[in-house]
Chains A and B, each alone.
Chain A
């Protein structure tokens, strides 16, 4: 091996195991050549300096990262928390809140149902009616006709008409509250299934 070959081989063989035949040949050359030995020394020095630049991380520092990651995982997916400990608190709170919602919806449903059955009797329709039409018409030349009742007036001022529009407010409330109850129960069962997985 001549000097030129040796120079080319140094970076290539730097990593090679000591048993590599090429490396043995290179080391033999370096042992007998001061120029290549100096070159090899620079390589060794640069490698040593590189090792000195290596940073060691303390165990505490790495452990802080560990905790941060676990906290983030649990924060973003609370259901992944192990069964005992904080997790129980967060899910039972969620469940209590859901039950409260169900109770509210049921109360709305009940009151609207009671209102609907007690007050919406045929004798008392006006309370469940809305949509008043102004129908004051002056004069006798009446070309105006209507399908509404009470248009048989001969002239003059007619009474305001009241039009029946259904379904009325209590019915809307009933439907909405039932939907609310259904949604809350759906959420509760989904939560239970998640926890069991």
Chain B
């Protein structure tokens, strides 16, 4: 069954099918919300914001038109807006991912010192992504983690395709610049702190 068939049935009163519709996107949307958040207690907030997103989507399902966007991009748009309004609320609490208790799993087969080096670089990249302006960060996350095409990203960010390209270009350049400093400058710690 396609999304639009399912949505049609839900609109006709088969509310229980909304659970089925959510199941198609819940992991993606939750991951997207995770990636967008960089605040403390993010695990709690991410789940709350994700359910808030799906609840809002259900409430405005009647206003959803397939012609404007696919259901998936529509959901991402709602998720992004929900995260942004939450971030605006707690702009003060600006804690990085590492302090929130999240640690990415390093590949098991590499040697310990190499793993440490890799972890250091990973932190650099994460810092760089967190410090990107919101639109650049969103574009990068949608492209890299959700494998969206330019057109879809353009719809979600409400931008033209060419500005999405330039957002991605700038985002990638800043991430790479951050990493480059690690390759060329010996005082990495200082560099990271200054940025």
Give A residues with C-beta under 8 Å from B: 11-12, 14-15, 42-43, 45-47, 49-57, 59, 61-66, 68-70, 72-74, 80-82, 197
Contacts of B109 in A (CB 8 A): none
21 contacts between A and B (CB under 8 A): A11-B173, A11-B176, A15-B168, A42-B183, A45-B179, A46-B178, A52-B122, A54-B35, A54-B144, A56-B31, A57-B30, A57-B31, A62-B26, A62-B27, A65-B22, A65-B26, A65-B51, A68-B47, A70-B19, A82-B15, A197-B13
Chain B, residues 43-75, CB within 8 Å of chain A (1/0): the string is 000010011001100100000000000000000
- Is B180 interfacial (CB-CB < 8 Å)? yes
- Is B161 interfacial (CB-CB < 8 Å)? no
Pair B58/A73 contact, Cβ less than 8 Å:
yes
Given A61-B47, A81-B15, A55 and B58 touching (CB < 8 A)?
Answer: no
Chain B, residues 88-110, CB within 8 Å of chain A (1/0): the string is 00000000000000101011000
Contacts of B13 in A (CB 8 A): 80, 197
Pair B169/A65 contact, Cβ less than 8 Å:
no
CB distance from B104 to the nearest CB of A (A): 6
Task: Report the contact-size class of chain B (Cβ under 8 Å from the partner).
Answer: 35 or more
CA distance A34 to B10 in the complex (A): 59
Interchain Cβ contacts within 8 Å, total number: 105
CA distance A12 to B180 in the complex (A): 18
Given A42-B179, A65-B54, A73 and B30 touching (CB < 8 A)?
Answer: no
Contacts of B107 in A (CB 8 A): 52
Partner of B176, one of A12, A46, A65, A68: A46
Contacts of B34 in A (CB 8 A): 55, 57
Pair A59/B55 contact, Cβ less than 8 Å:
no
CB distance from B170 to the nearest CB of A (A): 9
CB distance from B181 to the nearest CB of A (A): 10
Contacts of B30 in A (CB 8 A): 57, 61-62, 65
- Is B193 interfacial (CB-CB < 8 Å)? no
CA distance A144 to B51 in the complex (A): 79
Given A46-B176, A46-B179, A53-B104, A66 and B26 touching (CB < 8 A)?
Answer: yes
Chain A residue nearest to B52 (CB atoms) is: A69
- Per CB-CB distance, the 6 closest pairs between chain A and chain B, nearest first, are A62-B26, A49-B125, A80-B15, A62-B27, A69-B54, A68-B51
CA distance A15 to B165 in the complex (A): 10
